[in-house]
Amino acid sequence: MKKSSNTWRERISKKSNETDLSNNPVGNRAAGLELDLRLREFEINQLTQRNNFFMIFQGVLIAGLIQSQGTAAPIITFSMSLLGISTSLLQIGMAGGAKYWQSRWEASTRSSEIALVLELLKKKKLAVQTFTHDSSLLTEDERNQIAEWNRENPNDAITDDTQLIQKIVEADINNSTRNVFRRRADWWVRRFAISPKWSVSRIPIWMGGCLLLFWVTISANLVEISNFEPSQFAPKSIHLVPLKQEKRDLHPADPSSTKSLKKI
Protein backbone atom coordinates (compact mmCIF):
# COMPACT_ATOMS: atom_id res chain seq x y z
CA MET A 1 0.00 0.00 0.00
CA LYS A 2 1.42 3.33 -1.09
CA LYS A 3 1.75 5.88 1.67
CA SER A 4 0.69 9.46 1.23
CA SER A 5 3.56 11.81 0.47
CA ASN A 6 2.24 14.32 3.03
CA THR A 7 2.68 13.67 6.72
CA TRP A 8 -0.20 14.21 9.14
CA ARG A 9 1.39 17.48 10.30
CA GLU A 10 1.48 18.79 6.75
CA ARG A 11 -2.12 17.78 6.14
CA ILE A 12 -3.29 19.58 9.29
CA SER A 13 -1.30 22.67 8.35
CA LYS A 14 -2.74 22.61 4.83
CA LYS A 15 -6.28 22.24 6.16
CA SER A 16 -5.87 25.15 8.56
CA ASN A 17 -4.52 27.35 5.77
CA GLU A 18 -7.56 26.59 3.62
CA THR A 19 -9.89 27.93 6.31
CA ASP A 20 -7.69 30.92 7.14
CA LEU A 21 -9.54 34.16 6.30
CA SER A 22 -6.71 36.54 7.06
CA ASN A 23 -6.30 37.36 3.35
CA ASN A 24 -10.01 37.18 2.56
CA PRO A 25 -12.17 40.34 2.28
CA VAL A 26 -14.37 38.88 5.03
CA GLY A 27 -11.49 38.59 7.48
CA ASN A 28 -9.24 41.42 6.36
CA ARG A 29 -10.33 45.07 6.41
CA ALA A 30 -7.70 46.11 3.88
CA ALA A 31 -8.79 43.36 1.47
CA GLY A 32 -12.42 44.38 2.02
CA LEU A 33 -11.61 48.01 1.18
CA GLU A 34 -9.79 46.91 -1.96
CA LEU A 35 -12.82 44.83 -3.00
CA ASP A 36 -15.15 47.80 -2.45
CA LEU A 37 -12.92 49.98 -4.63
CA ARG A 38 -12.88 47.39 -7.44
CA LEU A 39 -16.66 47.01 -7.36
CA ARG A 40 -17.13 50.78 -7.36
CA GLU A 41 -14.84 51.11 -10.40
CA PHE A 42 -16.70 48.24 -12.09
CA GLU A 43 -20.06 50.00 -11.69
CA ILE A 44 -18.67 53.28 -13.08
CA ASN A 45 -17.19 51.53 -16.12
CA GLN A 46 -20.39 49.60 -16.75
CA LEU A 47 -22.45 52.80 -16.54
CA THR A 48 -20.34 54.38 -19.28
CA GLN A 49 -20.56 51.38 -21.59
CA ARG A 50 -24.29 50.82 -21.12
CA ASN A 51 -25.10 54.50 -21.56
CA ASN A 52 -23.05 54.59 -24.78
CA PHE A 53 -25.20 51.76 -26.16
CA PHE A 54 -28.42 53.64 -25.41
CA MET A 55 -27.09 56.93 -26.81
CA ILE A 56 -25.99 55.26 -30.07
CA PHE A 57 -29.39 53.63 -30.43
CA GLN A 58 -31.16 56.91 -29.72
CA GLY A 59 -28.93 58.68 -32.24
CA VAL A 60 -29.86 56.16 -34.94
CA LEU A 61 -33.57 56.67 -34.23
CA ILE A 62 -33.30 60.46 -34.34
CA ALA A 63 -31.18 60.34 -37.51
CA GLY A 64 -33.80 58.15 -39.20
CA LEU A 65 -36.57 60.50 -38.12
CA ILE A 66 -34.73 63.53 -39.51
CA GLN A 67 -33.80 61.71 -42.72
CA SER A 68 -37.45 60.89 -43.43
CA GLN A 69 -38.34 64.62 -43.16
CA GLY A 70 -41.85 63.69 -42.10
CA THR A 71 -42.63 61.84 -45.35
CA ALA A 72 -42.59 58.33 -43.86
CA ALA A 73 -45.83 56.49 -43.24
CA PRO A 74 -47.51 57.70 -40.03
CA ILE A 75 -47.48 54.21 -38.54
CA ILE A 76 -43.69 54.02 -39.00
CA THR A 77 -43.05 57.44 -37.46
CA PHE A 78 -45.42 56.71 -34.58
CA SER A 79 -43.76 53.33 -33.98
CA MET A 80 -40.36 55.01 -33.92
CA SER A 81 -41.68 57.47 -31.33
CA LEU A 82 -42.99 54.63 -29.15
CA LEU A 83 -39.64 52.85 -29.50
CA GLY A 84 -37.87 56.09 -28.54
CA ILE A 85 -40.09 56.47 -25.47
CA SER A 86 -39.41 52.88 -24.41
CA THR A 87 -35.68 53.29 -24.96
CA SER A 88 -35.62 56.51 -22.92
CA LEU A 89 -37.44 54.84 -20.03
CA LEU A 90 -35.02 51.92 -20.12
CA GLN A 91 -32.08 54.34 -20.24
CA ILE A 92 -33.39 56.16 -17.16
CA GLY A 93 -33.83 52.84 -15.37
CA MET A 94 -30.36 51.65 -16.34
CA ALA A 95 -28.66 54.89 -15.28
CA GLY A 96 -30.68 55.04 -12.06
CA GLY A 97 -29.79 51.45 -11.16
CA ALA A 98 -26.12 52.10 -11.90
CA LYS A 99 -26.20 55.21 -9.70
CA TYR A 100 -27.77 53.19 -6.87
CA TRP A 101 -25.10 50.49 -6.95
CA GLN A 102 -22.32 53.03 -7.31
CA SER A 103 -23.63 54.82 -4.21
CA ARG A 104 -23.91 51.49 -2.43
CA TRP A 105 -20.26 50.61 -3.01
CA GLU A 106 -19.11 54.14 -2.24
CA ALA A 107 -20.94 53.91 1.11
CA SER A 108 -19.29 50.55 1.73
CA THR A 109 -15.91 52.04 0.79
CA ARG A 110 -16.31 54.89 3.28
CA SER A 111 -17.43 52.48 5.99
CA SER A 112 -14.49 50.14 5.37
CA GLU A 113 -12.03 53.02 5.22
CA ILE A 114 -13.11 54.67 8.48
CA ALA A 115 -13.01 51.28 10.28
CA LEU A 116 -9.51 50.66 8.88
CA VAL A 117 -8.35 54.16 9.84
CA LEU A 118 -9.54 53.71 13.44
CA GLU A 119 -7.90 50.28 13.64
CA LEU A 120 -4.56 51.58 12.35
CA LEU A 121 -4.56 54.63 14.60
CA LYS A 122 -5.21 52.45 17.64
CA LYS A 123 -2.11 50.49 16.67
CA LYS A 124 -0.15 53.76 16.25
CA LYS A 125 0.26 53.18 12.51
CA LEU A 126 -0.09 55.50 9.55
CA ALA A 127 -3.67 55.88 8.31
CA VAL A 128 -4.49 57.69 5.06
CA GLN A 129 -8.01 58.97 4.38
CA THR A 130 -9.27 59.12 0.80
CA PHE A 131 -13.08 58.88 0.79
CA THR A 132 -13.80 59.96 4.37
CA HIS A 133 -12.38 63.50 4.39
CA ASP A 134 -15.91 64.79 3.81
CA SER A 135 -17.67 63.64 6.97
CA SER A 136 -21.08 64.81 5.70
CA LEU A 137 -21.27 61.59 3.66
CA LEU A 138 -20.67 59.34 6.68
CA THR A 139 -23.41 57.72 8.71
CA GLU A 140 -24.32 59.06 12.14
CA ASP A 141 -22.68 56.07 13.84
CA GLU A 142 -19.44 56.64 11.91
CA ARG A 143 -19.43 60.35 12.79
CA ASN A 144 -19.94 59.42 16.45
CA GLN A 145 -16.95 57.06 16.29
CA ILE A 146 -14.80 59.86 14.85
CA ALA A 147 -16.02 62.34 17.46
CA GLU A 148 -15.27 59.89 20.28
CA TRP A 149 -11.79 59.21 18.91
CA ASN A 150 -11.04 62.91 18.52
CA ARG A 151 -12.10 63.58 22.11
CA GLU A 152 -9.83 60.85 23.42
CA ASN A 153 -6.93 61.61 21.05
CA PRO A 154 -6.80 65.35 20.35
CA ASN A 155 -3.19 65.13 19.12
CA ASP A 156 -4.01 62.45 16.55
CA ALA A 157 -7.48 63.54 15.44
CA ILE A 158 -9.28 62.27 12.35
CA THR A 159 -10.37 64.83 9.77
CA ASP A 160 -13.94 65.87 10.51
CA ASP A 161 -14.79 68.76 8.21
CA THR A 162 -17.88 68.68 5.99
CA GLN A 163 -16.46 71.37 3.67
CA LEU A 164 -12.81 70.27 3.49
CA ILE A 165 -12.89 68.87 -0.05
CA GLN A 166 -15.01 71.78 -1.32
CA LYS A 167 -12.51 74.28 0.08
CA ILE A 168 -9.58 72.46 -1.51
CA VAL A 169 -11.28 72.26 -4.93
CA GLU A 170 -12.34 75.92 -4.90
CA ALA A 171 -8.83 77.02 -3.91
CA ASP A 172 -7.40 74.98 -6.77
CA ILE A 173 -9.77 76.22 -9.48
CA ASN A 174 -9.51 79.84 -8.35
CA ASN A 175 -5.71 79.78 -8.37
CA SER A 176 -5.22 77.50 -11.38
CA THR A 177 -3.91 80.35 -13.53
CA ARG A 178 -2.07 83.61 -12.91
CA ASN A 179 -3.40 85.18 -16.10
CA VAL A 180 -5.87 87.83 -14.91
CA PHE A 181 -7.70 88.00 -18.25
CA ARG A 182 -8.21 84.25 -18.41
CA ARG A 183 -9.31 84.12 -14.79
CA ARG A 184 -11.98 86.74 -15.44
CA ALA A 185 -13.04 85.19 -18.73
CA ASP A 186 -13.78 81.76 -17.30
CA TRP A 187 -15.51 82.90 -14.10
CA TRP A 188 -18.68 81.19 -15.29
CA VAL A 189 -16.76 77.90 -15.64
CA ARG A 190 -15.75 78.03 -12.00
CA ARG A 191 -19.13 79.30 -10.81
CA PHE A 192 -21.57 77.15 -12.79
CA ALA A 193 -19.59 74.20 -14.18
CA ILE A 194 -17.15 73.16 -11.42
CA SER A 195 -18.30 74.56 -8.07
CA PRO A 196 -21.83 73.04 -8.13
CA LYS A 197 -20.27 69.54 -8.00
CA TRP A 198 -22.28 68.10 -10.88
CA SER A 199 -22.79 64.37 -10.53
CA VAL A 200 -21.42 62.63 -13.60
CA SER A 201 -23.52 59.54 -12.89
CA ARG A 202 -26.74 61.60 -12.70
CA ILE A 203 -26.27 63.26 -16.09
CA PRO A 204 -27.26 60.09 -18.06
CA ILE A 205 -30.51 60.03 -16.05
CA TRP A 206 -31.25 63.63 -17.02
CA MET A 207 -30.29 62.86 -20.62
CA GLY A 208 -32.75 59.99 -20.69
CA GLY A 209 -35.44 62.31 -19.30
CA CYS A 210 -34.77 64.90 -22.01
CA LEU A 211 -34.97 62.27 -24.73
CA LEU A 212 -38.19 60.96 -23.22
CA LEU A 213 -39.69 64.45 -23.42
CA PHE A 214 -38.50 64.72 -27.04
CA TRP A 215 -40.18 61.49 -28.11
CA VAL A 216 -43.38 62.27 -26.21
CA THR A 217 -43.55 65.64 -28.01
CA ILE A 218 -43.07 63.96 -31.39
CA SER A 219 -45.67 61.27 -30.73
CA ALA A 220 -48.19 63.83 -29.41
CA ASN A 221 -48.09 65.62 -32.76
CA LEU A 222 -48.61 62.40 -34.71
CA VAL A 223 -52.01 61.59 -33.24
CA GLU A 224 -55.02 63.66 -34.19
CA ILE A 225 -57.71 63.89 -31.54
CA SER A 226 -60.96 65.76 -32.08
CA ASN A 227 -61.05 69.18 -30.39
CA PHE A 228 -57.48 68.71 -29.14
CA GLU A 229 -54.44 70.49 -30.49
CA PRO A 230 -51.10 70.21 -28.63
CA SER A 231 -50.03 73.64 -29.88
CA GLN A 232 -52.88 75.32 -27.99
CA PHE A 233 -50.98 74.77 -24.75
CA ALA A 234 -47.96 76.70 -26.00
CA PRO A 235 -47.70 80.44 -25.17
CA LYS A 236 -49.24 82.60 -27.90
CA SER A 237 -46.06 84.67 -28.20
CA ILE A 238 -43.96 81.62 -29.16
CA HIS A 239 -44.11 80.17 -32.67
CA LEU A 240 -42.13 77.35 -34.20
CA VAL A 241 -40.56 78.14 -37.57
CA PRO A 242 -38.58 75.89 -39.95
CA LEU A 243 -34.82 76.31 -40.03
CA LYS A 244 -34.90 76.59 -43.82
CA GLN A 245 -37.52 78.92 -45.27
CA GLU A 246 -39.01 78.05 -48.64
CA LYS A 247 -38.19 80.52 -51.40
CA ARG A 248 -41.20 82.44 -52.69
CA ASP A 249 -41.78 82.74 -56.41
CA LEU A 250 -41.64 86.29 -57.72
CA HIS A 251 -44.84 87.29 -59.49
CA PRO A 252 -45.22 90.50 -61.53
CA ALA A 253 -48.43 91.20 -59.66
CA ASP A 254 -46.51 91.48 -56.42
CA PRO A 255 -45.53 95.16 -55.89
CA SER A 256 -42.42 94.23 -53.97
CA SER A 257 -41.25 91.89 -56.70
CA THR A 258 -41.90 94.54 -59.38
CA LYS A 259 -39.88 97.08 -57.45
CA SER A 260 -37.07 94.58 -57.12
CA LEU A 261 -37.07 93.91 -60.82
CA LYS A 262 -36.97 97.63 -61.66
CA LYS A 263 -33.94 98.08 -59.43
CA ILE A 264 -32.19 95.29 -61.25
d(CA 203, CA 88): 13
Phi, psi of 228 (to 5 degrees): -140, 125
- pLDDT tens-digit profile of 51-67? 999 999 999 999 998 88
Least confident of 35-49, 178-192, 200-214, 244-258: 244-258
Residue 195 pLDDT? 82
- 254: confidence class by pLDDT, cuts 50, 70, 90: low
pTM: 0.70
pLDDT at 124 over 50: yes
- 255: confidence class by pLDDT, cuts 50, 70, 90: low
Stated length of the chain:
264
Q: Which of 162, 131, 166, 163 lies closest to 174, judged by CA?
A: 166
d(CA 205, CA 50): 12
- Give the mean pLDDT of 19-35: 75
- Range with top average pLDDT, 83-97, 126-140, 243-257: 83-97
pLDDT at 115 over 70: yes
Give Cα 103 distance to the centre of its chain.
Answer: 11
Q: Which of 51, 26, 141, 46 lies closest to 101, judged by CA?
A: 46
Percent of the chain with pLDDT over 90: 19
- pLDDT tens-digit profile of 142-171? 888 888 888 888 888 887 777 777 788 888
Residue 68 pLDDT? 84
- Give the mean pLDDT of 60-86: 88
- Give the mean pLDDT of 64-82: 86
Residue 262 pLDDT? 47
